[in-house]
Structure 1
Amino acid sequence: MGNKWILLAINHQTNWIVASATTDAKAETVAKFLYEKIFLQFGSPAEIISDRGPQFTSELLKENLKLQKIKHSLTTAYHPISNGKTDRDNWIIGSTLTKLAYNHKSKWDLFLDQAIWATRVRKHSVTKISPYYLVYGIDPILPGDKITPPYQGENNEPFDCYRDTSIRINNVIRARNSARIDQACCSRKNEKILRQKLQRIQISNQQLGDPKE
């Protein structure tokens, strides 16, 4: 049986995506994905947010997260704002896979790592910073890029590990703070727009339902 599902996790601070192609989306598969792809590689998160699918509300996953003292929050059903980030990234992954596997549709899962890599190195539309930079504090070196020499100061000082590391840490802290602010502003703006749309729909429905005079 081939892979039919993509399990996908997003870090809301950096927009870093982790994904895996699977044959099913059962609770056991989700628990294994979290353990192998998240916990063993990045450590245990403080909180996990998911939709209300049965694989996420199962007792198995609930007990698994409880043992590790990880808070599990469920999004509100039929609430576009709650799932907005995930939906956007799902669309990006799907669109990228469609292009990469255009002539190999039955082997789409072989191109998943390439699609994920593309999301990590591209600049985010809101923050204007790549997830790769927000995680590692440096820009990715892509195939064909010119390899730049180690950091040099204004006066072409030689490479200094302590200085270079301090600069990288300070730069990435500023970048993460900037990304957090930009994403919060974008979220508030999108929420306002959605509420205005819903208000217009509600008003319109009331008008359609009014009895004729």
Structure 2
Amino acid sequence: MSDTSALSVVQVFEECVYRRFGAPSLIRHDRGPRFMSEVFQAFTEMIQSRSRATLSYRPQANGQQERSVKSVMTFVRVYAEDPLQQDWDEIAEKLVFAINTSQNTTRKETPFYLVHGWDAQTTLRAMTSSLKQGSGRQSDTLAWQRDVNRQHEIDLTMAKDADPWRKTRLVAASICCSSWTKPADV
């Protein structure tokens, strides 16, 4: 996001959060001018959400977000050090996917699972092994799938290395989330 004016933040929030998940009951934010502006406050009233700012100069008041930023910065540094990573635009979405499908040590679940109620199904190995070596588009597709698979393996390794205290995932779906169902494969 190159422009972080209040109007741009509202437009991105509406497009990336509101349209996908609906209106949140509470929006917690820092005291940045874009969030304290009349434009943002009018937007939160329009979608019937409460807007709450954290305490000034107290990052501890927003510890969860500060920890998330620290994790993202760690992953960005790891990616930036990799000589094979040359284009940030191509990496950004892969990085987000890697973070969203990495287990959170506090919650013992992945962010993807907490939002959707099921684990992301990554079928990269199945996709790669199902194609035969060919010519033209088929070999281009195979090369692309191998690259995606290689990148996915790197992402998983980096996620495990960045979280050395990773423990076995708790199976909580049958206990607290029995109403969630996994969508049928298309």
**2:176 matched residue in structure 1:** 174
The letter for the 2-side match of 1:82 is: A
Cα deviation for residue 143 of structure 1 reads 4.3
Query: 1:105-146 deviations in whole A, cap 9, x for unaligned?
Result: 884343221111112111111111112222233222224456
Residue 125 of structure 1 aligns to a residue whose secondary structure is coil
Aligned pairs, number: 133
Question: In the alignment, which residue of structure 2 is the partner of 1:127?
Answer: 107
**2:6 equivalent to 1:27:** yes
Show the counterpart of 1:86: 65
Q: Contact 1:31/1:64 (CA < 8 Å) preserved in 2?
A: yes
Equivalences for 1:90-109 in 2 at 5 Å? 90-102=69-81, 103=83, 107-109=87-89
SS of equivalent residue, structure 2 residue 113 = helix
Give the counterpart of 1:118 among 82, 86, 98. Answer: 98
1:67: which partner in 2?
Answer: 46
The residue type paired with residue 63 of structure 1 is: A
Change (3 A) 1:100 1:175: farther
Q: Secondary structure at the match of 2:119?
A: coil
Contact map agreement 1:97 1:108 (CA 8 A) in 2: no
Kindly indicate whether residue 53 of structure 2 is the aligned counterpart of residue 51 of structure 1. no
* Structure 2 unaligned residues grouped into runs of 5+: 128-171, 179-186
Deviates more, 1:98-107 or 1:120-129: 98-107
The alpha-carbon distance between structure 1 residues 104 and 56, as it changes in their structure 2 partners (threshold 3 A), is farther
TM superposition shift of 1:46: 0.8
Mapped to 1, the partners of 2:102 and 2:75 lie a distance apart of: 12
The answer to whether the 8 A contact 1:133-1:172 is kept is no
TM-score normalised over the length of structure 2: 0.62
When residues 145 and 130 of structure 1 are mapped into structure 2, their CA distance, relative to the original with a 3 A threshold, is: farther
Q: Which runs of 5+ in 1 are unaligned?
A: 1-21, 148-169, 177-213
Give the direction of change, closer, same or farther, for the CA distance of 1:135–1:82 in structure 2 (3 Å limit): same
After TM superposition, give the deviation of residue 31 of structure 1 in Å: 0.3
Q: Is the 8 A contact 2:112 2:120 kept in 1?
A: yes
1:37 matches 2:39: no
Q: Distance in 2 between matches of 1:172 and 1:89?
A: 28
Residue pair 2:85, 2:91 contacting (<8 A) in 1 also: no
Partner SS state of residue 97, structure 1? helix
**RMSD of aligned residue pairs (Cα, Å):** 2.7
CA contact (8 A) 1:101 1:111 kept: no
Q: Provide the secondary structure at the position in 1 that maps to 2:12.
A: helix
For the pair shown, the structure with the greater C-alpha radius of gyration is 1
5 Å-filtered alignment, 1:127-146, equals: 127-144=107-124
Of all paired residues, the percent bearing the same amino acid is: 25
Aligned mates of 1:172, 1:63 — CA distance in 2: 41
